[in-house]
Structure 1
Amino acid sequence: MKHLYLLFGLLLLVSCNYFDVKKTTSDAILNEELKTFNWSEVDEYPSFASCNDEVSKEEKKRCFQNSLTAIIANKIQRDTIVVSQDVKDTIYIKFQISETGTLSLLEAKVDSVTQKEIPNIDQLIASSLDSLPEIYPAIKRGQQVKTAFTLPVIIQVN
């Protein structure tokens, strides 16, 4: 019986380490959460009201990109552009959409031939963004976030 008490007492002393509560700070918890984020993806892409009927995330993204491309292309097509040679080029337009849904033109990569033939192409692109419908910003973990993306627009002038 004495050995049993001795064994029980020894087990009690050794097992006390299992009951220690490790304290973690809120900074440690935050750092662990930040490591799990995929910063290059959002839960919902920016969208127009007309794209909210789409079901999947990729469909909404495609709808937004197609709508934006169509708006820019229609505006450029409405303007009279006179060229000395045919122009068929893809312009890569880099946008940023703020947390409030404001679209900003960051950069337009235009080929030198297209720039020479259509010297005001930057103005045409910028003016096509003046009359956009309301943009709903991207959402990440329930918060509206700033996003940036590049959109290809095909320019064809005969």
Structure 2
Amino acid sequence: MKQICIFILITMLSSCEYFKVKKTSSETILNEELQTFKWNEVDTYPTFSTCDSVSSKLEKDHCFETILTHHIHSYLLNETIIVSQDIDDTIILDFQVSKDGTLTLLNSKIDSVTLQEIPNIKSLLRSSLDSLPEVFPAIKRGQHVNTQFKLPIIIKVN
């Protein structure tokens, strides 16, 4: 009988390990979440109000780029540009859409021939952005976020 009591006592003392609850700190949870977080993706791309009818994420991105490209192209067509030689160039524009929906031209890669023929091309590009309709910022996890992207613009002047 004494042996049974000792056995039960030892079993009870060693079984307490099974009931311990592991405590995880908020830092551990945060670190695990940050490792699975996809930094380069957003839930909703920047958009214009005319793109609201589009449902898929990829189509909204395409709609935004199409409207932006079309707007810049239309603006440049309305400007009088005089050149001495033909230009066929692809300009790479680096944009940022801020949390509040402000579209900013960060950088532009323009061929030297294009810059020589159209010295005010950068100011024309910047002023084309001033007349854009309202831009709605990108959304990630319910929060407005800054986004950067590149957009190629083909310039052909004959």
Q: Shared topology, TM-score over 0.5?
A: yes
Aligned-partner SS, 2:61: helix
2:100 corresponds to which residue?
100
Amino acid at match of 1:66: T
Match of residue 64 from structure 2: 64
> 1:66-107 CA distances to partner (integer Å, 9 max, x unpaired)?
100110111011101111111111100001111110111100
Give the match for residue 33 of structure 2: 33
Q: So what's the TM-score if we normalise by structure 1? A: 0.94
Distance in structure 1 (CA, Å) of the matches to 2:90 and 2:5? 85
**Aligned twin of 1:146:** 146
- Following TM superposition, by how much is the alpha carbon of 1:16 offset from its aligned partner in structure 2, in angstroms? 1.2
Which stretch shifts more, 65-74 or 30-39?
Answer: 30-39
Q: Match of 1:111?
A: 111
Letter of the structure 2 residue corresponding to residue 69 of structure 1: T
Partner amino acid, structure 2, of 1:109: K
5+ residue gaps, structure 1, are none
What amino acid is the match of 1:88? D
Question: What secondary structure is seen at the aligned counterpart in 1 of 2:42?
Answer: coil
Secondary structure of 1:129's aligned partner = helix
CA distance in 2, matches of 1:8, 1:94: 73
Alignment of 1:48-87 (within 5 A): 48-87=48-87
Matching of residue 122 in structure 1 with residue 122 in structure 2 = yes
Q: Which amino acid is 1:45 matched to?
A: Y
What is the distance in 1 between the residues matched to 2:5 and 2:91?
84
Q: Distance in 1 between matches of 2:129 and 2:157?
A: 20
- Return the letter of the residue paired with 2:92: Y
Equivalence for 1:23 = 23
Name the Cα RMSD after superposition.
Answer: 1.3
Shift of 1:4: 4.5
**Residue identity in the other structure for 1:58:** L
TM norm structure 2: 0.94
Secondary structure at the counterpart of residue 43 of structure 1: coil
Structure 2 spans left out of the alignment, 5+ residues: none
CA apart distance, 1:34: 1.4
Give 2:124's aligned amino acid.
L
Q: Give the distance between the partners of 1:61 and 1:7, measured in 2 at CA.
A: 69
How many aligned positions are there? 158
C-alpha distance in structure 1 between counterparts of 2:18 and 2:97, whole Å: 51
Counterpart secondary structure, 1:156? strand
